[in-house]
Chains A and B, each alone.
Chain A
């Protein structure tokens, strides 16, 4: 039995075993979008775990006790169930398999996210309600995987399933483990000029360090305008950048760091890299047949697509 699958082994049809998020990352990987590599702890691995741990009945008993009109009652059930899962032992073969997948990935830090599965996609849309853990290392990986598993039983998830009358529907959870990109340069791209709405132009914004600082608007990034048809860079506006966000030490977390004076006024991405990134973004736009708002990062000269969303304001 296979407990994990690499993104490259997953397609958009894999929702049942990899969840919505996992399947989507698999699809992007297959399409060559250079998403950070990763693997999925498959949904049946979770099922095997609760079965082997013999806790299915315990969980069901707790759920049966819930008074849905009383939020304290829901909270109490959630706490008990999540505690049960946390204390249960994962079988050696599952633990070995997850750790081996992590080693194969070759990443220092990973992001661990739950990726819910359900028989219909509407149910899966509460994937967003589930949990994400950043800067996870090999040492605490298994603990976080279990937390993702137990995120099926957060008070909100329990209440949601009750409200939508899904209590008898089979729900399960896969866990996505994805390399965290330690970006030296990162930013966003709009495949259509967001101001002029010119469909022939794309804008790439780039700043030093992790993308969080750009997305949140706390630094002003360089801005490059690309002509999509002629494949030329029409305009380069360089922004002076004094501080950058980086990963804080071995335990993860973020911190600000001063940018050395000589690097402050330098162009953040070279011309060939801008073109490489714009080709990548064009591919994504073409794939989804809609203008995209893309988050990207570059680690050791390799570009990664961190997220891509349709631009809905056009």
Chain B
């Protein structure tokens, strides 16, 4: 069988650069993008392409195609009053299911299971996780690549607001969630432990090994790591989970600033109440029709449910990697990382029929391309992969000194650029530095707190950076597309987040 759309005229558009991806996870969503037909009125992607150099990965859509997909989701959200809620409810439901399933797999005596039974776990997980994407992807698809939903919202606000300034303000207020994010719950748990053991932490002369602290404290930190540590473990597992030691170090840092945990929590609650009040006041001042009121509510829920999905996904990934993948790797005589580059149908062949091409899989882990369309998928290595890489090569962004994006939180500030993609980059961050990232995932929140301003490549209504920056009151520009390519560590920049402009100075 041959792919139909691989070489069609629609130019490739970079969807996302992910520094820590594997084929196992990539396949999960790419296959769902092209094959899932749960909603007849939503267009499927006609082609998705990705590249891997080890874990460094990019995925691409057709430019026109991804726009049309977004339009179909947008029109469904506008014209089907219950669709947005349906998505949000199901994202939460299937995230819960996935977490429960992860817990059950974690307890299974895998080494006693037959290969066939191991395959069954892969399959069950794949079905469940794909189902989550059925709902979970649409809030991303509708806005992240072409800003279809943001544009529509602003066009609507144009027609009910005094001027552009009011439009920008209203947009921020109306799309900010007024409930706690799941990440805030992690923070809450963390601060509770901090308050309980503050006395002990204060007594520590310097940062110590976790083995040196009291048993109760250690137990609390271990439990916290088990419950939330996966937020540091992104996709491929090339970053460790946040360990009890990680949290201990953070607490030692915190105690130096003499921060009161209870006060922080109170302030966070206060912030949510303020956000709710602002929203109510705005609804009084500006006449917003029922359809758009509903859409704004849906969008701010999208931002929350995206984090719920992300949390569940990382939770399950950690558990599969340490159990199922370790066991499978042993049986297939591959490393765990190599096992993460096996496609699902090959996994079935390997575990059920004993057929496997180890050499090819080893090659893939070094470098490969992966292409999906309706009813077709293939991983390419060697010469063919290199040819395909050329199709998506983007010219280097060398001479650019000024870029623009969407204002997520207004303000103007100058500072030194630090590229912070993952938690492991956080140590280089100094207070007042400009945090530049692809997207700020929850793992880099400690760096966001130190930042003078935040700039991201990715944007959209569900952007985590937007929510956190507003809560922290830091100037933030999202959706610049190329900030991480244009700037490097040490560059001096001026961020005008009110206008959405970042300039080298």
A271 interfacial by beta-carbon distance below 8 Å: yes
User: Once bound together, how far apart are the Cα atoms of A124 and B450, in whole Å?
Assistant: 78
- Let me know if B152 and A232 touch, CB within 8 A: yes
Chain A: which residue is nearest B151 at the CB level? A234
Which single member of B155, B164, B287 contacts A232 (CB below 8 Å)? B155
- Let me know if A267 and B163 touch, CB within 8 A: yes
- Let me know if B164 and A233 touch, CB within 8 A: no
A274 interfacial by beta-carbon distance below 8 Å: yes
A167 interfacial by beta-carbon distance below 8 Å: no
- Let me know if B155 and A271 touch, CB within 8 A: no
Set of chain B residues within 8 Å of A267, measured between Cβ atoms: 162-164
A227 interfacial by beta-carbon distance below 8 Å: yes
Set of chain A residues within 8 Å of B161, measured between Cβ atoms: 270-271
User: Once bound together, how far apart are the Cα atoms of A295 and B160, in whole Å?
Assistant: 23
What 1/0 mask marks residues of chain B from 272 to 301 whose CB sits below 8 Å from any chain A CB?
Answer: 000000000000000100000000000000
Which single member of B155, B162, B287 contacts A270 (CB below 8 Å)? B162
Q: How far is the CB of B107 from chain A (nearest CB, A)?
A: 53
- Let me know if B156 and A270 touch, CB within 8 A: no
B368 interfacial by beta-carbon distance below 8 Å: no
Chain B: which residue is nearest A226 at the CB level? B159
User: Once bound together, how far apart are the Cα atoms of A270 and B156, in whole Å?
Assistant: 13
User: Once bound together, how far apart are the Cα atoms of A275 and B158, in whole Å?
Assistant: 9
Q: How far is the CB of A25 from chain B (nearest CB, A)?
A: 30
Set of chain A residues within 8 Å of B155, measured between Cβ atoms: 227, 230, 232-234
Q: How far is the CB of B392 from chain A (nearest CB, A)?
A: 31
In residues 137-191 of chain B, which contact A (Cβ within 8 Å)? Answer: 152, 155-164, 167
- Let me know if B158 and A236 touch, CB within 8 A: yes
User: Once bound together, how far apart are the Cα atoms of A232 and B158, in whole Å?
Assistant: 7
- Let me know if B164 and A275 touch, CB within 8 A: no
Set of chain A residues within 8 Å of B164, measured between Cβ atoms: 236, 238, 267
Set of chain B residues within 8 Å of A224, measured between Cβ atoms: 158
Q: How far is the CB of B79 from chain A (nearest CB, A)?
A: 12
A272 interfacial by beta-carbon distance below 8 Å: yes
Chain B: which residue is nearest A272 at the CB level? B160
A266 interfacial by beta-carbon distance below 8 Å: yes
Which single member of B152, B159, B167 contacts A272 (CB below 8 Å)? B159
What 1/0 mask marks residues of chain A from 236 to 249 whose CB sits below 8 Å from any chain B CB?
Answer: 10100000000000
Of the listed residues B156, B159, B163, B167, the one surrounded by the most CB atoms of chain A closer than 10 A to its CB is B159
User: Once bound together, how far apart are the Cα atoms of A266 and B163, in whole Å?
Assistant: 7
Q: How far is the CB of A184 from chain B (nearest CB, A)?
A: 15
User: Once bound together, how far apart are the Cα atoms of A275 and B164, in whole Å?
Assistant: 15
Q: How far is the CB of B102 from chain A (nearest CB, A)?
A: 44
Set of chain B residues within 8 Å of A266, measured between Cβ atoms: 163
Chain B: which residue is nearest A233 at the CB level? B158
In residues 257-305 of chain A, which contact B (Cβ within 8 Å)? Answer: 266-267, 270-272, 274-275
A143 interfacial by beta-carbon distance below 8 Å: no
User: Once bound together, how far apart are the Cα atoms of A134 and B407, in whole Å?
Assistant: 48
- Let me know if A270 and B152 touch, CB within 8 A: no
Of the listed residues B155, B157, B161, the one surrounded by the most CB atoms of chain A closer than 10 A to its CB is B155
- Let me know if B159 and A232 touch, CB within 8 A: yes
In residues 422-465 of chain B, which contact A (Cβ within 8 Å)? Answer: none
- Let me know if B162 and A231 touch, CB within 8 A: no
Set of chain A residues within 8 Å of B156, measured between Cβ atoms: 232
Q: How far is the CB of A237 from chain B (nearest CB, A)?
A: 10
Q: How far is the CB of B38 from chain A (nearest CB, A)?
A: 27
User: Once bound together, how far apart are the Cα atoms of A238 and B167, in whole Å?
Assistant: 14
Chain B: which residue is nearest A268 at the CB level? B163
User: Once bound together, how far apart are the Cα atoms of A234 and B287, in whole Å?
Assistant: 19
Set of chain B residues within 8 Å of A227, measured between Cβ atoms: 155
User: Once bound together, how far apart are the Cα atoms of A231 and B163, in whole Å?
Assistant: 17
Set of chain B residues within 8 Å of A274, measured between Cβ atoms: 158-159
Set of chain A residues within 8 Å of B152, measured between Cβ atoms: 232
Q: How far is the CB of B143 from chain A (nearest CB, A)?
A: 17
User: Once bound together, how far apart are the Cα atoms of A227 and B155, in whole Å?
Assistant: 9
Q: How far is the CB of A14 from chain B (nearest CB, A)?
A: 38
User: Once bound together, how far apart are the Cα atoms of A266 and B161, in whole Å?
Assistant: 13
User: Once bound together, how far apart are the Cα atoms of A233 and B164, in whole Å?
Assistant: 11
Set of chain B residues within 8 Å of A233, measured between Cβ atoms: 155, 158-159
User: Once bound together, how far apart are the Cα atoms of A270 and B162, in whole Å?
Assistant: 4
User: Once bound together, how far apart are the Cα atoms of A275 and B152, in whole Å?
Assistant: 16
Chain B: which residue is nearest A278 at the CB level? B159
Q: How far is the CB of B166 from chain A (nearest CB, A)?
A: 8
Chain A: which residue is nearest B158 at the CB level? A233
User: Once bound together, how far apart are the Cα atoms of A130 and B287, in whole Å?
Assistant: 48
Q: How far is the CB of B147 from chain A (nearest CB, A)?
A: 13
Set of chain A residues within 8 Å of B163, measured between Cβ atoms: 266-267, 270-271
Chain B: which residue is nearest A234 at the CB level? B155
Set of chain B residues within 8 Å of A232, measured between Cβ atoms: 152, 155-156, 158-159
Set of chain B residues within 8 Å of A238, measured between Cβ atoms: 164
Set of chain B residues within 8 Å of A234, measured between Cβ atoms: 155, 158
User: Once bound together, how far apart are the Cα atoms of A255 and B163, in whole Å?
Assistant: 28
Q: How far is the CB of B12 from chain A (nearest CB, A)?
A: 27
User: Once bound together, how far apart are the Cα atoms of A271 and B163, in whole Å?
Assistant: 7
Set of chain A residues within 8 Å of B167, measured between Cβ atoms: 271
Q: How far is the CB of B161 from chain A (nearest CB, A)?
A: 5
Set of chain B residues within 8 Å of A236, measured between Cβ atoms: 158, 164
Chain A: which residue is nearest B156 at the CB level? A232
Q: How far is the CB of A161 from chain B (nearest CB, A)?
A: 52
User: Once bound together, how far apart are the Cα atoms of A233 and B155, in whole Å?
Assistant: 5
User: Once bound together, how far apart are the Cα atoms of A163 and B315, in whole Å?
Assistant: 94
Set of chain B residues within 8 Å of A272, measured between Cβ atoms: 159-160, 287
Q: How far is the CB of A222 from chain B (nearest CB, A)?
A: 10
In residues 206-234 of chain A, which contact B (Cβ within 8 Å)? Answer: 224, 227, 230-234
What 1/0 mask marks residues of chain A from 172 to 184 whose CB sits below 8 Å from any chain B CB?
Answer: 0000000000000
User: Once bound together, how far apart are the Cα atoms of A232 and B78, in whole Å?
Assistant: 14
Q: How far is the CB of A235 from chain B (nearest CB, A)?
A: 8
- Let me know if B159 and A231 touch, CB within 8 A: yes
Q: How far is the CB of A239 from chain B (nearest CB, A)?
A: 13
Set of chain A residues within 8 Å of B159, measured between Cβ atoms: 231-233, 271-272, 274-275
User: Once bound together, how far apart are the Cα atoms of A275 and B161, in whole Å?
Assistant: 11
Q: How far is the CB of B17 from chain A (nearest CB, A)?
A: 30
In residues 98-156 of chain B, which contact A (Cβ within 8 Å)? Answer: 152, 155-156
User: Once bound together, how far apart are the Cα atoms of A195 and B448, in whole Å?
Assistant: 45
User: Once bound together, how far apart are the Cα atoms of A191 and B167, in whole Å?
Assistant: 25
List 25 A–B pairs whose Cβ atoms lie within 8 Å, in order of A's numbering.
A227-B155, A230-B155, A231-B159, A232-B152, A232-B155, A232-B156, A232-B158, A233-B159, A234-B158, A236-B158, A236-B164, A238-B164, A266-B163, A267-B163, A267-B164, A270-B161, A271-B157, A271-B158, A271-B159, A271-B160, A271-B162, A272-B160, A272-B287, A274-B158, A275-B159
Binding site for A on B (CB under 8 A): 152, 155-164, 167, 287
Known contacts A231-B159, A232-B156, A233-B158; 10 additional CB pairs below 8 A are A227-B155, A230-B155, A232-B152, A232-B158, A234-B155, A238-B164, A267-B162, A271-B157, A271-B160, A275-B159
Closest 7 CB pairs of A and B: A233-B158, A267-B163, A232-B155, A271-B159, A270-B162, A271-B161, A233-B159
